[in-house]
């Protein structure tokens, strides 16, 4: 999991994308439907890099024979403080095939939903290019 965490902490979208399996499924904290596929997941992660400020991981938990990880983070969207967790599952090749994000409090989820909605046209364009 160090490769994904290091890529995020370096704000390196290409390195982040390299950790994703082609069949990754992304589950957003603010949208019900999952987003399947590496292209859309990588584009969403690039959008998140544009939205979150002062992002930092504060804790990492590992289980499931080293294939399940929880990366607890803190960030800011404008004046709103965000606490959250990236829940990741790795496939047999060590690539992320399940990516679920949770955030709190409600004000943070609302700020994230609004900020990502403003990004979504760009995210969709990036996913097909």
The pTM is what? 0.93
Kindly state the percentage of the chain with pLDDT values over 90. 91
Question: For residue 127, is the peptide bond before it cis, meaning its omega torsion is within 30 degrees of 0?
Answer: no
Query: Among 3.30.460.80, 3.40.50.11540, 1.10.260.40, 3.10.450.50, what is the CATH number of 2-128?
Result: 3.10.450.50
The string of pLDDT tens digits covering residues 93-114 is 999 999 999 999 999 999 999 9
User: How high is the pLDDT of residue 129?
Assistant: 80
- Listing DSSP states for 113-129 in one string gives HHHHHHHHHHHHHHHH-
In the chain the beta strands, taken as DSSP E runs, fall at: 20-27, 35-36, 53-63, 68-77, 80-90, 96-104
Per-residue model confidence (pLDDT) at position 75: 97
With a cut of 80, say whether residue 1 has pLDDT above it. Answer: no
Q: What number is the average pLDDT over the span 82-100?
A: 97
Mean pLDDT of 75-95: 97
Mean pLDDT along residues 109-127 = 93
pLDDT over 90 (residue 2)? no
Per-chain mean pLDDT for the chain: 95
């Amino acid at each position: 999991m160090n490769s994904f965490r290091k890529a995020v902490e370096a704000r390196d979208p290409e390195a982040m994308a390299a950790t994703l399996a082609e069949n990754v499924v992304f589950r957003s904290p603010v949208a019900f439907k999952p987003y399947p596929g590496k292209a859309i997941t990588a584009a969403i992660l690039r959008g998140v890099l544009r939205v979150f400020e002062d992002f930092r991981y504060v804790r990492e938990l590992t289980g499931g024979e080293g294939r399940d990880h929880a990366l607890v983070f803190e960030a800011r969207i404008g004046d709103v403080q965000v606490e959250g967790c990236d829940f990741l599952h790795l496939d047999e090749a060590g690539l992320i095939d399940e990516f679920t994000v949770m955030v709190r409090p409600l004000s943070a989820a609302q700020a994230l939903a609004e900020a990502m909605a403003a990004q979504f046209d760009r995210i969709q364009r990036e996913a097909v290019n």
